[in-house]
Structure 1
Amino acid sequence: MPHRSLRPLLLLASLLIGCSSGLRVNVLEPARVNVGASRKLVVVQTEGQSTVQDVVLQELYRQSRQDGYFSFTDRTHAGGTVKLTGSEVLLQGEKATALESGEVGLRIDVLGWDADLEKRQLQVKDEKGRMPKKTQKQVFVAKLILGVTAFNSAGKVLLAEEEYAGEVESERVDVLLRTVAGQLVDRVLRDLTPRQVSHYLRMDDEDAAQKDIVKVAEKGDVGQAITQLTSYVEQHPDNAGGWYNLAVLLDASGEYEKALEHYSRAISLTSKDFYVKMQEACSSRLASRQALRE
């Protein structure tokens, strides 16, 4: 399974936006539901119509494997039950296996499943690609509602019986369940899976003495640029741009604590608005990293 490092990925070391130079990096950030460092999904319990349960579990396996972030395990055979008690979960059952560190437990309830033949107005293109008037046509319409509870190995509730509802229509009745189940599973996984987010880190290229160093960074040799800027600020301790650019390079390298120190040093020497904005963005990246290590 591919490993997603918490260190930022430098996408492009040379990027010009307007007249400013900068770096663009990809940073792993928590999804809507923060799963911390967990990378394993374990379905402990499913309830509801058995046919729907089976298809949902198949979709969880398929999509988890396809995305590559989470591994997937089905432990429903152990007969464990998930009981919500406020902000915590009790895992009950003689054969139930307690979650290990790094695992996210799931309970999935099929709250509603319905597929009917309905008459609906459809607008279908003709052979020439034109859109004629809407016509009534009989199609199968399926509606599925899942209730999802997620919790970590410490029993902390991450999702509490949250409802995911979807509807699809098709002339083929045999594709309805898998299609709508796939849509809902995709939404659940998007709510749980950390994603790479692109960030632009603006550099300060006003100081002519630093332009060559900035170019080194833009060409992709950030390590060499850090070495050169470290030497530069030692010789020019009152140069705000030097401290700021060093902070940016450390930020791009994932050394957020050091970067924040240098952002503060630069801000103490000058009052450029984008210095402050970059410091705030760096603080946010550090918070995301810490959240993913919980």
Structure 2
Amino acid sequence: MLSFRSLRHVVLALAATLAVGCAPTLKVNVLQPARVNLGAAKRLTVVQTEGRKGARDFLIEELTRQARSEGYFQVTDRSDEGIVVKVAGRAVQMLNTGNGPAQGQDEIGIRIDVNDWDAEKKTETIKGTDSKGKPTEREEKFYEAKTVASVTAFNAAGKALLAEEEYETVGRGDDKDSAIGNAARALVGRILFDMTPKYVSKYIRLDDDDKAQKPIIEVAREGNVPRAITEMESYLQSNPQNSAALYNLAVLLDASGKYQEALDLYTKAISVSSKDYYVSMKAECAKRLADQQALSQ
């Protein structure tokens, strides 16, 4: 059984949790770099492919289709120009540049080597029960495919952001071609997933302890953040040491993508108040700034 003191601590902790849950927040959608950060580049150019021609053509077509569907990258195929790429560690050397334009600063060169592209027929035993609850078994025949490709992605400076990284996927189908197609589509999906930045939703907590600021907070939560910034700046001029005003203006700038300005204000707010969530929100803003800088390189 909990002692009175222990029970009191539990109640206080629960009350604090509920208070945080009821605190006003601003929802923001933030673009975060993928595992393989391609910086500001939004153009992928396939410069060289090796392996079975049918497999190479399928991968290029599927890469183009999926990239168009996601809407982030534009894909260009220059694999028929005779461009030759040599990979040495994390560096790439162009032994033959082809007859087209030089690689642009906003462009990522791609080399794809098809290592495996096949399927085999398999049989699987499916167990179940009939309408009377009796055990049943049946055999199901299908094809299982494996596709393996090595991918190199490099920028205009010759830096390999992916250096012959191997991707392997499996797929099933009623026939050999459909099984290989399913596996290959999954392979391309994994490649693009590793390269494509994603929008994620974040919630930034506001400080509503100062009742005079609540109308401004409501303006922001209704979607008019620019007006809320103007009103909060005016309020702060009259209350320069108000920690909640410093913090809330930081939040509003943070939600507007002005991360460096927000960080400066978070720091000022923390110097006036010791609220824990001031520190955690500042840390999240610093991460957003780092992501923004990584995506602008």
Per the normalisation by structure 2, the TM-score is 0.88
Contact 2:46–2:76 (CA under 8 A) maintained in structure 1: yes
What is the match of residue 15 of structure 2?
Answer: none
Whether 1:185 aligns to 2:193 is no
Distance (Å, rounded) in 2 between the aligned partners of 1:133 and 1:205: 63
- Change in Cα spacing, 1:124 to 1:195, as seen in structure 2 (3 Å) is farther
Letter of the 2:156 partner, please give it: S
Equivalent residue number for residue 213 of structure 1: 216
Q: Is residue 115 of structure 1 aligned with residue 114 of structure 2?
A: no
Amino acid at match of 1:268: S
- Shift of the 210–44 alpha-carbon distance from structure 1 to 2, 3 Å rule, reads same
Query: Residue 174 of structure 1: CA displacement?
Result: 2.9
Which residue of 249, 264, 272 corresponds with 1:269?
272
Amino acid paired to 1:119: T
State the Cα RMSD in Å: 2.0
Larger-gyration structure (1/2): 2
Report % sequence identity: 47
Q: Show the counterpart of 2:108.
A: 104
CA contact (8 A) 1:78 1:95 kept: yes
Deviation at 1:200, TM superposition (A): 0.6
Aligned counterpart in structure 1 of residue 57 of structure 2, from 54, 60, 80: 54
Equivalence for 1:279 = 282
Question: How far is 1:17 from its partner?
Answer: 7.0
Of 211-220 and 172-181, the range deviating more from structure 2 = 172-181
Match of 1:20 in 2: 23
| Map of 2:149 onto structure 1 | 146
Q: Which residue of the partner structure matches residue 11 of structure 1?
A: none
Moved more, 50-59 or 170-179: 170-179
- 2:248 is matched with which residue: 245, 261, 264? 245
1:264-291 Cα offsets, whole Å, 9 max, x none, are 0000001111100000100111111111
Quick one: which amino acid aligns to residue 251 of structure 1? D
Match of 2:76 among 73, 76, 85: 73
> How far, CA to CA, are the matches of 1:114 and 1:181 in structure 2?
10
Would you say the 8 A contact 1:41–1:70 is kept in 2? yes
Query: How far is 1:33 from its partner?
Result: 0.5
Aligned partner of 1:159: which letter? L
Q: Equivalents in 2 of 1:67, 1:149: separation in Å?
A: 21
- 1:119-198 equivalence runs, <5 A: 119-122=123-126, 133-198=136-201
Detail structure 1 runs of 4+ shifted over 4 Å in the superposition: 123-126, 130-134
Structure 2 gap ranges (5+): 1-18
| SS state at 2:24 partner | strand
**Using the alignment, how far apart are the partners of 1:278 and 1:213 within structure 2?**
19
The residue type equivalent to 2:182 in the other structure is T
Deviation for aligned residue 1:216: 1.1
The aligned residue for residue 4 of structure 1 is none
2:151, 2:163 within 8 Å by CA — same for their partners in 1?
yes
**Is the Cα–Cα contact under 8 Å of residues 114 and 144 in structure 1 kept in the other structure?**
yes
- Tell me which amino acid in the other structure corresponds to 2:108: V
Tell me which amino acid in the other structure corresponds to 1:201.
Answer: I
State the SS of the aligned residue for 2:147. Answer: strand
Amino acid of the structure 2 residue aligned with 1:173 = K
Equivalence for 2:42: 39
Q: Distance in 1 between matches of 2:214 and 2:273?
A: 19
Gap change, CA 1:131 and 1:20, over 3 Å in 2: farther
CA positional deviation for 1:86 = 2.1
Per the alignment, residue 7 of structure 1 pairs with: none
TM-score with structure 1 setting the length? 0.89
- The whole-number CA distance in structure 2 between the counterparts of 1:103 and 1:131 is 61
Q: Relative contact order: is structure 1 or structure 2 higher (C-alpha 8 Å, sep ≥ 6)?
A: 1
* Secondary structure of the corresponding residue to residue 80 of structure 2: helix
Cα pair distance change 1:194/1:137, threshold 3 Å: same
Taking the aligned partners of 2:172 and 2:248, their CA distance within structure 1 comes to 55
How far 1:132 sits from its partner (Å)? 6.2
Choose the corresponding residue for 2:33, options 14, 30, 34: 30
Q: More helix per residue: 1 or 2?
A: 2
- Alignment check: 8 A CA contact 2:89 2:163 kept: no
